[in-house]
Amino acid sequence: MDVSGAARHILGGIDAPHSELAVMSAAPAEYPYERVEDPDYFRDVLLNMEWIRNRDERRVRFSTVCASGYPDYQTEYPEGHRLYSFPRRYDGSTHRLIDSAASGARQDEHLTEAHTWNEVLLLLKRALDRKHGRTTASSAALAKE
């Protein structure tokens, strides 16, 4: 099985480039969202991404500053989309909308680069694996490449 086939197998059919897996699993935590170990956090992020109809257009950006252990985040359309200027900001602890309509402008300061739906699925899988103490040989092999 090639690396990309192994990635699809591990992720239950999710088609994600193996380089994403390697970066997410091998790199030390740089941002607060990378230290979140609660799978429910990522499940709720995915639920809040569902307001964007087309899965391929769903994006999320996590706050780079975090006091609670659960960073706030913003769901949005990809850059260049006609609705890109209308992100939704969420409280990372409650997953409730933060009133960003009053600001009227995008607030991109202190946010990570945009992550796709599949990348958040990978974060969820990693959190679930840690919770259940699972590490697979395939995951380890992907992390080395």
pLDDT at position 92 over 80: yes
How long is the chain? Answer: 145
CA distance 98 to 89: 5
Domain boundaries, the chain: 3-144
CA distance 112 to 31: 8
CA distance 95 to 25: 25
CA distance 33 to 71: 6
Instruction: State the amino acid at position 94 in one-letter form.
Output: T
pLDDT of amino acid 133: 87
Element containing residue 116 per DSSP (H, E): strand 115-116
pLDDT at position 18 over 50: no
pLDDT of amino acid 27: 60
Which of 20-34, 44-58, 105-119 is modeled with the greatest confidence? 44-58
Rounded average pLDDT over 113-142: 82
Rounded average pLDDT over 98-125: 82
Mean pLDDT of the chain: 78
pLDDT at position 119 over 90: yes
Element containing residue 10 per DSSP (H, E): helix 3-10
pLDDT of amino acid 105: 54
What tens digit of pLDDT does each residue of 55-89 get?
Answer: 999 999 999 988 778 999 999 999 999 998 899 99
What tens digit of pLDDT does each residue of 129-138 get?
Answer: 998 887 654 4
